[in-house]
């Protein structure tokens, strides 16, 4: 699976970073085996509860994805599909999407995605040393990074002697306690989720009971982690792993795939789910909270082609959709 962004019509609900490969995750010591399934029941449509704003970087209005939002309304994202002539270029968008695009790219990189940010000036993401071709989005490695105030860049890659070649390692989220989450691929292109402490430079594997693959996509200030996994039946489902180890399995009723991409301090989880398969598949964004359940959220300009990627404590959402012209557009959704 490719690691850089693909046009929405070429993939299902998978987020732009397209974490190259959903496969076996290594077990972490002390993992708690308890889990609760968040399945069953109906899914309410909450789209009318939000007001939507489309924001695309003028540098490439054909492909934009907004991936994370903090409490003061700074948004992490990037433009460019990753294919030849359209390299990924990272940015931070200000003022809840109403402000300016500020470029953020790893020094010397050919492609960069800014995937997450905290409330204190830290951003995380990944970069590559090569551009894509007409058929693939990159021909080089991926390496994770973190930065402070869009400068002072540092590489963060999980230490392993069994890495994929070329390497695939991406940071996807970070909290205010300087703990980031991401994943790496091994030599068999199996993915392994992990946490990384920016303060201590220590790595820890993230496990989910009974999962054969784990991708850690987001972490809140309480240490709760959201992401997605492949279960023993080969299905892709989302999860919320609480700091003490309890795991909620997230599967939208009737969906062929469910993936969680963001979580706020109230444990509101956001992501995307797919209904159907192949060329007839449609994707929708969702929110989920314990005791509330799933709610569908679709940008009105991209119903059936929407993914929600990030949420802040005010309930503001960011993500992307495919419009009627086949372009991928970033959006901000604020509760009415």
pLDDT in tens, 198-216: 999 999 999 998 888 899 9
**Is 20 or 185 the better-scoring residue by pLDDT?**
185
**Could you tell me which residues come within 8 angstroms of residue 280 by beta carbon, excluding any fewer than 6 positions away?**
none
Q: Report d(CA 212, CA 111) in Å as an integer.
A: 30
**Could you tell me which residues come within 8 angstroms of residue 19 by beta carbon, excluding any fewer than 6 positions away?**
1, 3, 168, 170, 172, 183, 191, 215
Paired tokens of 294:
């799933």
**Is 115 or 37 the better-scoring residue by pLDDT?**
115
The least confident of 5-14, 62-71, 259-268, 317-326 is 5-14
Q: What is the total residue count of the chain? A: 336
Domain ranges across the chain: 8-28+37-265+275-335
Q: Report d(CA 204, CA 207) in Å as an integer.
A: 10
The CATH classification of domain 8-28+37-265+275-335, taken from the options 2.60.40, 2.30.30, 2.120.10, 3.40.50: 2.120.10
Provide the 10 A C-beta neighbour count for residue 304. Answer: 13
Handedness of CA 36, 39, 41, 45 (dihedral sign): positive
Paired tokens of 260:
């969680």
Q: State the alpha helices, DSSP H only, in the chain.
A: none
pLDDT digits (tens, 9 = 90+) for 140-153: 999 999 999 998 99
Contact 155, 129 (CB under 8 A): no
Q: Report d(CA 265, CA 144) in Å as an integer.
A: 24
What's the pLDDT band for 232 if we cut at 50, 70, 90?
confident
pLDDT digits (tens, 9 = 90+) for 31-78: 333 344 555 457 899 999 999 999 999 999 999 999 999 999 999 999
- Which pLDDT belongs to residue 38? 59
Paired tokens of 133:
């071709």
Q: Does 30 score more than 80 pLDDT?
A: no
Q: Does 82 score more than 90 pLDDT?
A: yes
Across residues 229-253, what is the average pLDDT? 93
Residue 131 CB burial class (10 angstroms; 0-12, 13-18, ≥19): buried
CA 320 to chain centre: 11
Q: Report d(CA 311, CA 289) in Å as an integer.
A: 12
Q: Report d(CA 240, CA 220) in Å as an integer.
A: 11
Provide the 10 A C-beta neighbour count for residue 223. Answer: 14
What's the pLDDT band for 1 if we cut at 50, 70, 90?
very low
Contact 86, 63 (CB under 8 A): yes
Q: What are phi and psi of 179, to 5 degrees?
A: -110, 120
- Spell out a b/e string for 65-79, using b for 16 or more CB atoms within 10 Å of the CB, else e: bbbbbbeebbbbbbb
């Amino acid at each position: 699976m490719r690691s850089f962004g693909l046009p929405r019509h070429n993939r299902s609900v998978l987020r732009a970073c397209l974490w190259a490969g959903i496969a076996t995750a290594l077990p972490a010591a002390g993992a708690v085996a308890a889990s609760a399934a968040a399945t069953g029941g109906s899914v309410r449509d909450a789209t009318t509860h939000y007001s939507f704003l489309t924001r695309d970087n003028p540098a490439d209005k054909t492909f934009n994805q907004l991936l994370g939002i903090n409490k003061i309304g700074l948004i992490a994202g990037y433009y460019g599909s990753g294919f030849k002539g359209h390299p990924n270029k990272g940015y931070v968008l200000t003022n809840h999407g109403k402000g300016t695009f500020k470029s953020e790219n790893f020094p010397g990189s050919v492609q960069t995605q800014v995937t997450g940010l905290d409330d204190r000036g830290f951003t995380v993401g990944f970069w590559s040393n090569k551009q894509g071709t007409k058929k693939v989005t990159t021909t080089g490695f991926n390496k994770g990074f973190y930065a402070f105030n869009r400068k002072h860049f540092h590489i963060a890659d999980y230490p392993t002697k069994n890495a994929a070649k070329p390497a695939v390692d991406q940071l996807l989220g970070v909290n205010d306690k300087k703990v980031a989450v991401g994943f790496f691929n091994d030599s068999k292109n199996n993915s392994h989720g992990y946490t990384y402490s920016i303060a201590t430079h220590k790595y820890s594997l993230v496990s989910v009971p009974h999962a054969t693959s784990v991708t850690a996509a987001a972490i809140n200030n309480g240490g709760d982690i959201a992401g997605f996994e492949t279960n023993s039946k080969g299905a892709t489902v989302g999860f919320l792993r609480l700091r003490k180890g309890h795991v909620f399995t997230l599967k939208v009723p009737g969906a062929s795939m469910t993936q969680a991409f963001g979580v706020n301090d109230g444990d509101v989880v956001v992501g995307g789910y797919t209904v159907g398969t192949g060329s007839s598949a449609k994707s929708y964004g969702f929110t989920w909270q314990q005791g509330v359940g799933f709610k569908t959220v679709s940008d009105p300009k991209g119903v059936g082609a929407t993914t929600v990627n990030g949420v802040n404590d005010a309930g503001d959402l960011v993500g992307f959709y495919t419009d009627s012209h086949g372009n991928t557009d970033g959006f901000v959704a604020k509760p009415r």
